[in-house]
A and B are shown apart, each in its own frame.
Chain A
């Protein structure tokens, strides 16, 4: 190999190492840290809520509490099935270049958007079940529609939390959509 050809080969190898911009790497690392924290939080919620529902069914083995425990575990199972399927392949980039890092950020962004839609649907199902369960278990005499709208201060709190939850979801979705647009504008994928 001639001297110039040798230098040219080294030059190509040297410059082929595409450095990933610092802010992208930090963003990925920050997100990964959050993903680990969220998994730990989900495990904790599963143990507390799922365990609590089972404990309740064991301590008071009535039909209502058995139904509550079964439904609780059904919702938990649905949430975990979604979480595991949607987080597949989101832990690390496929390569060490900028395009792969941007691609990972795009996939994480899409997964979060899907998670908000799933979260909204799951929350609606859980609310419907919980309110129905309470109405039946407490043997409320007021008609259901009236109870749901003006039943008690507790019901008002439930609606306030629901409104806040959906408001937060809308805000979060807008943020993620803007982030997705920005990532697409980088034209790496």
Chain B
């Protein structure tokens, strides 16, 4: 049997993983999360920069992926499937935490307590600046630029967000303009 990571739309049949035993399904799940762990962490970081909140979101995404895995029918790539779930969870998380936002803002501005060694400091600062700018984008632009930076094609981004490819193009163009402005202004 092909690995989940190798699955493509052509090879996929309806109920692709429905018949798998639990152990095999767990292996595929682990493999999927391990391969996309850094991307998921970056995704989570665009929705919240509080470490504890980010961890909660990542756990929620993992749980949602596990619950949806048996229903995966292979109409899209595994990565698209994963990002679609992750984005849905992130939006739900954002909506839920909106009520707590006022209390959270102060904490969110606290820098991660992990150390910044001099060797990686410059790179770290550039990445932080980019991440900070992306976090300040309106949600619809934040989503599309984040997926583009994760190397997703227009078609994949459209599938993840449930919009048309032309809409992706328009949003991405606007997102880049806004991001450029934010980076240049340095705010």
Contact = CB atoms under 8 A, between A and B. Distances in A.
Contacts of B117: 94-95
Interface SS of chain B: helix
Contact of A95 (B120, B176, B179): B120
Contacts of B58: 22
Nearest to B127: A17
Interface in A19-58: 19-22
B148 interface: yes
B149 A10 contact: yes
A157 interface: no
Contacts of A11: 148-149, 151
A16 B128 CA distance: 11
A19 B42 contact: yes
Interface in B31-53: 37-38, 40-42, 45
A15 B126 CA distance: 12
A14 to B, nearest CB: 4
Contact of B42 (A10, A17, A93, A97): A17
A19 B127 contact: no
Contact of A19 (B41, B120, B126, B148): B41
B91 to A, nearest CB: 20
A13 B126 contact: yes
Nearest to A101: B114
Contacts of A3: 176
A146 interface: no
Nearest to B179: A10
A33 to B, nearest CB: 13
Contacts of B149: 7, 10-11, 14-15
Contact of A14 (B59, B115, B130): B130
A93 B116 CA distance: 9
A92 interface: yes
B148 A92 contact: no
B131 interface: yes
A20 B58 CA distance: 12
Interface string A1-14: 00100110011011
B6 interface: no
Nearest to B116: A96
A5 B122 CA distance: 20
B112 interface: yes
Interface string B86-121: 000000000000000000000000001011110110
A92 B150 CA distance: 29
B42 A14 contact: yes
B124 interface: yes
Nearest to A21: B37
B37 A19 contact: yes
A27 B115 CA distance: 17
- Closest 6 interchain pairs by CB? A19-B41, A14-B149, A19-B38, A17-B127, A92-B115, A96-B114
A27 to B, nearest CB: 13
Interface in A88-116: 92-97
Contacts of B150: 14-15
